[in-house]
Structure 1
Amino acid sequence: MKGIVCEEVGKFVLYEDLTEPVLEKGKAIVRIRRIGICGTDLHAYQGNQPYFSYPRVLGHELAGVIEAVGDNEAGLHAGDQVSIVPYMHCGECSACAIGKTNCCKNMKVFGVHIDGGMRELVSIPLGHLIKTDGLTLDQATMLEPLAIGAHAIRRSGLAAGDTVLVIGAGPIGLGVMALARYAGAEVIAMDVNEERLDFCRESAQVKHAVNALQPPQEQLAAITGEPKAAFVIDATGNAKSMMNAFGLVAHGGSLVYVGLVKSEITFNDPNFHSHEMSLMGSRNATMKDFDFVLKAISAGYVDIDRYITHRTSFEGMISCFDSWLKPESKVIKALVEIN
């Protein structure tokens, strides 16, 4: 079968003869039809992804059709369209025991720690498949990145009527914005790119936007009457932004890092303590978050067609990838199609 391997930093190779998976008990063979490209893939290609080794088959934002499956109690059959939950947890560690499968001690993320879905066929445990009847393949592919945002919202404790500042208008940040609106919150978008902020207003239907290149506290005060926000979610994966975010959290407020950066993060402890601030990391997602996303898409809160700005065939991905790294390409979400 065909597959694309990231053999080393900056090098993809298309293979025609990768070994096909064999059907095993408790698993299904899935024919991949869509692959979403996310920041993890870009960082891995550039050599900036933590917990990563080469060579590796990338791809964890996936949708496809079940090719083969044995008898099962999950109600899955050959021909079912599915989305893949790529977080392969152990089910035995202390985190899994309390339901935090998203931060399993022995986590193996498909396409990061183990080979992923940038190939024609994959073998997936039945518990990591979600039937996506009624969704398009594009929508099914976007469940995973949106679930990342849903988990960050749940971590924050955000509720209907609250105001949240979302920093970073990339795919994850945009998902956070749309899902926060679905949760009933008032959303303020913040980014350094005015075009991205316009996109937030038009496509994510965010009423208020803050340009981070201008004094953000003044802009926040003009919007809400307060220079800081009770809920701040940073989706930038940028160390400077993540550290500056401390200055935007109100007394008694919370800061959630959903973006990941491969470096140290520091903050002023007296400021942190005087605010009695809650600082949280948000990693991956759980089935509860996927369910939340399914409901939000069904309710029309996420316009997937607007988020997907670039497409290519499987064979054409390698030649496109470098261009997607350039700011001038204005990629929000790139999608690879396999027929």
Structure 2
Amino acid sequence: MKDIATGTMMAAVCAEPGTMTLEERPLPDHAPEGWRLVDIAAIGICGTDYHIFEGLHPFLAYPRVMGHELSGCPVDGPDAGRLMVVNPYISCGECRACRREKPNCCARIEVLGVHRDGGMCARIAVPETNLYPADGLSREDAAMVEFLAIGAHAVARSDCGPGDRVLVTGAGPIGLGTAIFARLSGADVHVMDLSRARLDIASRDFGFDRIHRPGDDIMTGNLSEGFDVVFDATGNAKAIEAGFPLVAHGGSTVLVSVVKGDLTFTDAEFHKRESRIIGSRNALKSDFDRVMAAIRSGDVPTGAILSEIVALRDLPARMKPLTHDRDHLVKVIVTP
């Protein structure tokens, strides 16, 4: 929603928890050196966006234009009009992590839609190096790449592969993405969630037939020795702690989600099992590339992922019901 004649655009602004409005803003007409103007093609609504809307994000200042799962086209230059995936993690390029080619965990990272205004609008400026060609993808598919890359990165961090038994706790979008890439690695994947609706989606639409509820007695039979890798995508400290005893000897826990506060575990058991706890944050370009290749090859069922398309102008009215119904949704895409 942009008006070239007047030099304005509409942006969906979360003014305060529970309140989203459409706001007229100047249409960006220049970018800093090394950055590019990008006309937004599609925006995925993330769990982070729901948390911002609910007032549950601990490090956010309102008002905020949300949106970090983005596809779009450069306004000018040699790639003008070419569909791109936007990497929303803006790294400093100078800290130790960046110098060691780990910009996903930059010490001074800024994420679009969280630390600075994001892409729920018609046009933004982003670093040129954060644009990845999305040839062969639809605008909606390209807007799914970022959240899927988080799962792909977690799987890469885990080193899981053929012969490994894997449990993914949390069957929301991030958990489903993690489960998809764990399955593509060759692992035997189980999925756990409190929500029967989410487990039904995981089974019916994504083919995960090894599903469990918290509290199920799953450490029996051929599962009695536990899981080689437990991925947590719940964002719940109690769920993370309940997952530690499910890790097999020599196995790993991968924290895909993040919680505010402390986690506890039994040190004797941790050492006896020679366990690993691995943090996984954001994603690298290689993860974005892996996801795009998997979408192109048909290994990622983007049709099952796409739950609904909402026009930007309708988002203020739709945001509250979407937030309340998100157990029944995988990915909602907003189009400007």
The 3 A distance-change label for structure 1 pair 328 and 82 is: closer
Q: Determine if contact 2:198/2:327 at 8 Å carries over to the other structure.
A: no
| Structure 1 runs (4+) greater than 6 angstroms displaced | none
- The TM-score with structure 2 as length reference comes to 0.93
Find the partner of 2:15 among 7, 16, 19.
7
Equivalent residue runs for 1:254-293 within 5 Å: 254-293=252-291
Equivalent residue runs for 1:85-104 within 5 Å: 85-104=87-106
2:26 equivalent to 1:28: no
Q: How far did 1:21 drift?
A: 4.3
Matching residue's letter, 1:92: E
Q: How far did 1:306 drift?
A: 0.9
The 3 A distance-change label for structure 1 pair 275 and 55 is: same
The 3 A distance-change label for structure 1 pair 117 and 108 is: same
The 3 A distance-change label for structure 1 pair 328 and 291 is: closer
In structure 2, the residue corresponding to 1:99 is in which secondary structure?
Answer: coil
Equivalent residue runs for 1:245-256 within 5 Å: 245-256=243-254
Q: How far did 1:328 drift?
A: 7.4
Matching residue's letter, 2:13: V
Partner Cα distance (1:329, 1:154) in 2: 27
2:56 equivalent to 1:48: yes
Find the partner of 2:76 among 61, 68, 78.
68
In structure 2, the residue corresponding to 1:2 is in which secondary structure?
Answer: strand
Q: How far did 1:213 drift?
A: 4.1
For residues 229-282 of structure 1, the C-alpha deviation after alignment (integer angstroms, 9 at most, x for no partner) is: 011101111222111111211111100111122333222222222222101111
In structure 2, the residue corresponding to 1:264 is in which secondary structure?
Answer: coil
1:109 is aligned to 111
Q: Determine if contact 1:256/1:280 at 8 Å carries over to the other structure.
A: yes
Count of residues paired in the alignment:
328
2:3 is aligned to none
Matching residue's letter, 2:286: K
Partner Cα distance (1:328, 1:206) in 2: 20
Q: Determine if contact 1:6/1:58 at 8 Å carries over to the other structure.
A: yes
In structure 2, the residue corresponding to 1:112 is in which secondary structure?
Answer: coil
For residues 9-44 of structure 1, the C-alpha deviation after alignment (integer angstroms, 9 at most, x for no partner) is: 222221123452413432221111211001111111
Q: How far did 1:193 drift?
A: 2.2
In structure 1, the residue corresponding to 2:258 is in which secondary structure?
Answer: coil
In structure 2, the residue corresponding to 1:142 is in which secondary structure?
Answer: helix
1:72 is aligned to none
2:331 equivalent to 1:323: no
For residues 68-113 of structure 1, the C-alpha deviation after alignment (integer angstroms, 9 at most, x for no partner) is: 23xxxxxx51110111000001111101111111000010111111
The 3 A distance-change label for structure 1 pair 312 and 55 is: same
In structure 2, the residue corresponding to 1:187 is in which secondary structure?
Answer: strand
What runs of 5+ residues in structure 2 fail to find an aligned partner? Answer: 1-8
What runs of 5+ residues in structure 1 fail to find an aligned partner? Answer: 70-75
2:182 equivalent to 1:180: yes
In structure 1, the residue corresponding to 2:56 is in which secondary structure?
Answer: coil
Matching residue's letter, 1:272: F
For residues 155-194 of structure 1, the C-alpha deviation after alignment (integer angstroms, 9 at most, x for no partner) is: 1111233221111110011111111111121111111223
The 3 A distance-change label for structure 1 pair 41 and 21 is: farther
Matching residue's letter, 1:300: G
Q: Determine if contact 1:230/1:250 at 8 Å carries over to the other structure.
A: yes
Matching residue's letter, 2:254: V
Cα RMSD (Å): 1.7
2:5 is aligned to none
Find the partner of 2:66 among 38, 58, 79.
58
Equivalent residue runs for 1:134-153 within 5 Å: 134-153=136-155
Give the share of equivalent positions with the same residue, in percent. Answer: 40
> Which has the larger displacement, 144-153 or 225-234?
225-234
Matching residue's letter, 1:164: V
Q: How far did 1:214 drift?
A: 2.3
Matching residue's letter, 1:131: P
Matching residue's letter, 2:67: G
> Which has the larger displacement, 313-322 or 290-299?
290-299
In structure 1, the residue corresponding to 2:287 is in which secondary structure?
Answer: helix
Matching residue's letter, 2:243: A
